[in-house]
Amino acid sequence: MPEKKDKKIPDKIEAKVTEKIETKKVEKIETKVPEKIETAVTEEKEVVSPETEVKEVEEVKEEKKAKKRGRPPKKADEKNTDEKKPVRKRTKKEDSEKESTTEVKKKTTRTIKTTKKEVNSASSQINHIIAAPAKRGRKKKEENAKAVKKILFVGSEVLPYTATGGLGEVLGSLPKALAKRGDYDVRVIMPYYKEIIERYGSEVKYLCNYNVGLAWRNLYCGLFTLEKDNVTYYFIDNEYYFRRDTLYGFYDDGERYAFFSKAVMDSIYFTGFMPDIIHANDWQSALVPIYNTCIYRYDLKTIFTIHNIEYQGKYDLAILGDVFGLPPEAGAYVEYDGCINLLKGAIECSDCVTTVSESYANELHDASFAHGLEEIIAKNAWKTRGILNGLDTTVYNAETDGEISNNFSPVDVTGKLKDKRELQEMGNLYADDNAPLLALVTRLVSHKGMDIVMDSLEGLLNNTNLQVIILGKGDRRYEDYFLWLQNQYRGRVSAMITYNKALSHKVYAGSDMFLMPSKAEPCGLSQMIACRYGTVPIVRETGGLRDSIKDCGGGEGNGFTFSNYSAADLSNAVYRAVDLYRNHGDDWDKLRKYIMTIDFSWSKSAEKYDEMYSWITGIQ
């Protein structure tokens, strides 16, 4: 009698698929057998011959008899071969069924052989499915690791394009430092001033133009762009507002920078760049967070940095709508002390407020530093932090600076003495290597300490062999005083009433000491620059000066400091510096070499900004 066949998927195929699934430990993976095999097997299962049925019945009967006798049943092939079997002639129907069964067997065998490739293909697909979750997990981790924060810096001045002070230095350095990290998409936007058109007009590219609605005005705005140091720069063009000889000091400054701020908000649509953060700076761009809160409501975060709280952008409340294009309800944010105060509005509307040093952030709680905004600072203290600015060490580097005649390093400072002699010649000073040369590179205004400088310089010149060089512009009374002093002490005082970037490098490199007696100094960069050229700083302990310069009187430190804002304390600090220079030459040389090695780069500051950006956006 024919032997019974188990009609299922071949064991080798089934075992192979099962092994793949178990080794990868993936649950609920459905293995789909090729349709040809499944169909053939199904057909074969459905066809059962009469001989098979008879055999199964006989086996059942034999099992019953064996149980009665208490012996195991005989198998079909163990029966007496001489036993005669009843022969029955098959009908046509049975012959037809037998032929059908034989055909199905052949077909099944042939199908299994011809579909090995398909089975292998199915196994490969299973492997792919099993591996996919792990690959997707790795990809997700990689995407998280490479999450890019998109920052748009907004400011009225940016180096190298144009600058009048520390704001331009910061916006020229911080974006580059962040872009170097690789996890930032950094853009900077500023006005397209006349100076930029003349110097960089051939480099910038026209992007588009659009109209800016400012109250009842409908104004042309051109948008230009330039890429440099992995940073994309945008320039807002309107010749009426920005094609002027200087940056500030016009009767319509409020309207000019309202247009600029509104154009910045509209530019997002035309650049296609939706930032995670807009980082505005000082009163000129203070309207950016205000506009976003009151009009645009973009889904982004705003940060506002106070570089100098003295300049607040104050205007009459009557022009709230007519000039600034703000709705009446915006008055709740910008009104202060009976007028519009743009700085106050920016503090209220921003998600985070920063200052340019930790000490300055603390000082702003004091009325003598806050210029009337101490209550607003206290109210928003929970979202205010101070981060000390850094320095672009590629620009200020005594070893590579192309603006100075003789480069030098902490290892070999002989070039500094040559630079000093050259500076003495340029300033019409006596060529005296033993005379300590004291420099001031500053705006000649009261809060830079010019009043106590006036009260102390003559005494210092009379009691020492000090030489003094002043580079800067400012209030007329200070300019006139230094010119008078130059005439009184010919060969010992040089007053250069100008601001010249290239010349400032020569002054930093050629001087022995650098005086910075500020009444208030949010951060200050000059004291850091002086260190980079081995010029010992003498500073008052305030704001960023306190955070960056420590007095060396105790044997450690990187300069000379004084705390009280007085001519007597200033003079005492200078006398101590002159004594070290004249009577302790070895110690002076060590100090000069040491301060050149201090890291004032943006790397440390950029890390703190990165922490803040991560905190405010949730992007790590």
Three-state SS at 383 = helix
More confidently predicted of 382 and 53: 382
**416: buried, middle or exposed (CB in 10 Å: 19+, 13-18, 0-12)?**
buried
Share of the chain above pLDDT 90, in %: 73
Q: Kindly state whether residue 510 falls inside one of the protein's structural domains.
A: yes
Last residue of a domain, one of 144, 167, 185: 144
107 pLDDT above the threshold of 70 = no
Examine the domain organization and report whether 250 and 311 are in the same domain. yes
76 pLDDT above the threshold of 60 = no
Beta strands in 199-298 (DSSP E): 205-214, 217-228, 231-237, 277-281
Examine the domain organization and report whether 121 and 172 are in the same domain. no
Count, residues in the chain? 620
Please give the pLDDT value at position 165: 81
Q: Kindly state whether residue 217 falls inside one of the protein's structural domains.
A: yes
CA distance 532 to 598: 8
Sign, Cα dihedral of 491, 497, 499, 500: negative
Please state the rounded mean pLDDT for residues 28-52: 46
Average pLDDT, the chain: 84
Please state the rounded mean pLDDT for residues 42-63: 55
Examine the domain organization and report whether 353 and 211 are in the same domain. yes
Examine the domain organization and report whether 140 and 264 are in the same domain. no
Please give the pLDDT value at position 372: 95
* H-run or E-run covering 466: none
Please give the pLDDT value at position 499: 85
> What is the number of domains present in the chain?
3
Q: Kindly state whether residue 606 falls inside one of the protein's structural domains.
A: no
197 pLDDT above the threshold of 80 = yes
Last residue of a domain, one of 116, 144, 172: 144
Q: Kindly state whether residue 365 falls inside one of the protein's structural domains.
A: yes
- Least confidently predicted of 90-94, 154-158, 166-170, 462-466: 90-94
77 pLDDT above the threshold of 80 = no
CA distance 290 to 280: 11
**140: buried, middle or exposed (CB in 10 Å: 19+, 13-18, 0-12)?**
exposed
More confidently predicted of 194 and 142: 194
What is the 3-class SS of 99-141, one letter each residue?
HHHHHHHHHHHHHHHHCHHHHHHHHHHHHHHHHHHHHHHHHHH
Tell me which residue of 360, 362, 384 sits closest to 548, measured CA to CA: 360
More confidently predicted of 178 and 77: 178
Sign, Cα dihedral of 439, 444, 446, 452: positive
Examine the domain organization and report whether 344 and 438 are in the same domain. no
Distances in Å between the Cα of 488 and the Cα atoms of 25, 421, 461 are 91, 22, 11
Please give the pLDDT value at position 399: 96
| 341 in Cβ contact with 357 (< 8 Å) | no
Examine the domain organization and report whether 382 and 426 are in the same domain. no
112 pLDDT above the threshold of 50 = no
Please give the pLDDT value at position 134: 42
- Least confidently predicted of 55-69, 381-395, 415-429: 55-69
104 pLDDT above the threshold of 80 = no
CA distance 159 to 200: 12
| 534 in Cβ contact with 416 (< 8 Å) | yes
Please give the pLDDT value at position 65: 61
Structure confidence at residue 488 as a pLDDT band (50, 70, 90): very high
CA distance 601 to 389: 9
Three-state SS at 589 = helix
395 pLDDT above the threshold of 50 = yes
Residue 553: what are its φ and ψ, rounded to 5°?
-65, -30
Q: Is the peptide bond before 522 cis (omega within 30 degrees of 0)?
A: no
10 pLDDT above the threshold of 70 = no
Please give the pLDDT value at position 511: 98
* H-run or E-run covering 345: helix 342-349
Q: Kindly state whether residue 392 falls inside one of the protein's structural domains.
A: no
Please give the pLDDT value at position 17: 43
pLDDT tens track for 351-366: 999 999 999 999 999 9
CA distance 266 to 277: 15
Examine the domain organization and report whether 268 and 281 are in the same domain. yes
CA distance 187 to 150: 8
Q: In angstroms, how far apart are the furthest CA atoms of the chain? A: 148
Read off the DSSP letter of residue 295: I
Please give the pLDDT value at position 12: 47
Tell me which residue of 307, 204, 208, 182 sits closest to 263, measured CA to CA: 208
140 pLDDT above the threshold of 90 = no
pLDDT tens track for 267-291: 999 999 999 999 999 999 999 999 9
Please state the rounded mean pLDDT for residues 532-556: 94
Please state the rounded mean pLDDT for residues 85-112: 51
| 76 in Cβ contact with 59 (< 8 Å) | yes
Please give the pLDDT value at position 369: 94
Q: Kindly state whether residue 265 falls inside one of the protein's structural domains.
A: yes
50 pLDDT above the threshold of 80 = no
Please give the pLDDT value at position 115: 45
For the domain that residue 543 is a member of, what is the CATH number?
3.40.50.2000
More confidently predicted of 259 and 124: 259
Examine the domain organization and report whether 241 and 172 are in the same domain. yes
Please give the pLDDT value at position 553: 84
Please give the pLDDT value at position 365: 96
Examine the domain organization and report whether 292 and 355 are in the same domain. yes
- Least confidently predicted of 110-124, 282-296, 398-412: 110-124
Please give the pLDDT value at position 554: 75
Please give the pLDDT value at position 62: 67
Structure confidence at residue 556 as a pLDDT band (50, 70, 90): confident
Structure confidence at residue 448 as a pLDDT band (50, 70, 90): very high
Beta strands in 48-204 (DSSP E): 149-154, 184-191
Last residue of a domain, one of 338, 368, 386: 386
Please give the pLDDT value at position 37: 42
Beta strands in 521-599 (DSSP E): 536-540, 560-562
Please give the pLDDT value at position 102: 54
Examine the domain organization and report whether 318 and 442 are in the same domain. no
Q: Kindly state whether residue 617 falls inside one of the protein's structural domains.
A: no
Examine the domain organization and report whether 120 and 167 are in the same domain. no
**Which structural domain range is residue 112 located in?**
11-78+88-144
Angle formed at CA 50 by CA 47 and CA 52, multiple of 5 degrees = 80
Q: Kindly state whether residue 566 falls inside one of the protein's structural domains.
A: yes
pLDDT tens track for 419-432: 999 999 999 999 99
Structure confidence at residue 451 as a pLDDT band (50, 70, 90): very high
Angle between helices 602-617 and 166-181 (to 10 degrees): 70
Tell me which residue of 318, 364, 373 sits closest to 345, measured CA to CA: 373
Please give the pLDDT value at position 158: 96
16 pLDDT above the threshold of 80 = no
Task: Work out the end-to-end distance of the chain between its first and last CA atoms, rounded to an integer number of angstroms.
Answer: 76
351 Cβ contact partners less than 8 Å away, ≥ 6 residues apart: 301, 302, 303, 383, 616
Please state the rounded mean pLDDT for residues 398-406: 96
Three-state SS at 236 = strand
CB atoms within 10 A of CB 373: 22
Buried b (16+ CB within 10 A) or exposed e, 275-300: bbbbbbbbbbbbbbbbbbbbeeeeeb
Residue 417 amino acid letter: L
pLDDT tens track for 493-507: 999 999 888 999 999
pLDDT tens track for 561-587: 999 999 999 999 999 999 999 999 999
Sign, Cα dihedral of 539, 543, 547, 548: negative
Tell me which residue of 233, 207, 200 sits closest to 221, measured CA to CA: 207
CA distance 353 to 284: 16
Examine the domain organization and report whether 430 and 321 are in the same domain. no
